[in-house]
Amino acid sequence: MPDTPGDMPPAQPDAKAAPKKSGWLNLVVDYGPVLLFFIVYRRFSPADHEAALQEVTAVIYGTVAFMIGAVIALIVSVVKFGRVSPMLWLSTALIVFFGGLTVLLHDQFYIQIKPTAIYLLFGFALLGGWLRGKALLKTLLEAAFEGLDDAGWMLLSRNWGWFFLAMAAMNEGFRHWLSFGGWLQAKLYVFLPASFLFTFAHMPMLLRHGLAAEAEEDVITHPPHE
């Protein structure tokens, strides 16, 4: 006699299912290194910014903290979430590369040019994929926003591609016209809010393309970033 439903053993959880990300922890992983950079730089930055030696020292200390924070964020992502998105791998690699040049050469140029390099890389990659009919943003983020259809991913990839190119241009403008401290404040008070506002602005479009209401938090806590 076949087993009745009551006699069936309970279903076993899928061992391959990735752990669900915590929203706040995901934001810490994404933006914690930048905040750490800002805090350490401000701690060691001289009151008189004409004191070149102390200013360079503050930049180097901040850069070292940034690199350490980025590597820790990568490790946390592996341990807690079981995976690392290609975007986080690339961002961390470029942080370590440009940060290492900054420390070795005592030149803040390299850590300031790092966002431009990342923005251009992601911007051209996303737009190139869009022109070929491929939504590369989904691959870069390794995120599956529940219910979002292919057309929605394509629009998201195209729009973030253009946004990254605009951010690259803005970073170059701030790098040329602001002091290092001013540029760093712009990272916190201009770039981060702009990214969140750009993400929020897409919510109506994403919902029209099938995004489940319960997946809105995933979109907000998985914004593309440099």
Q: Give the model confidence (pLDDT) of 161-191 as tens digits.
A: 999 999 999 999 999 999 888 998 898 899 9
Query: Would the pLDDT of 22 be above 80?
Result: no
Question: Averaged over 23-27, what is the pLDDT?
Answer: 67
- Would residue 102 count as lying in a domain? yes
- Would residue 226 count as lying in a domain? no
Amino acid at 93: A
Range of the domain at 166: 21-221
Least confident of 51-55, 152-156, 204-208: 51-55
pLDDT band, very low/low/confident/very high, at 24 (cuts 50, 70, 90):
low
- Would residue 6 count as lying in a domain? no
Query: Would the pLDDT of 144 be above 80?
Result: no
Q: Give the model confidence (pLDDT) of 34-87 as tens digits.
A: 889 999 998 988 876 556 678 888 999 999 999 999 999 899 888 887 777 888
d(CA 136, CA 155): 11
- Would residue 87 count as lying in a domain? yes
DSSP string, 91-138: HHHHHHHHHHHHHHHT-THHHHHHHHHHHHHHHHHHHHHHHTT--HHH
pLDDT greater at residue 76 or residue 22:
76
d(CA 186, CA 181): 9
- Would residue 180 count as lying in a domain? yes
pTM comes to 0.80
Total count of domains within the chain = 1
- Would residue 74 count as lying in a domain? yes
Amino acid at 11: A
**Distance, CA of 124 to chain centre:** 16
**% of the chain residues with pLDDT over 70:** 80
Please tell me the predicted confidence (pLDDT) of residue 204. 87
Q: Give 1: exposed, middle or buried? Use CB within 10 Å, 0-12, 13-18, 19+.
A: exposed
- Would residue 203 count as lying in a domain? yes
- Would residue 34 count as lying in a domain? yes
CA atoms within 13 A on the CB side of 48: 4
Please tell me the predicted confidence (pLDDT) of residue 48. 66
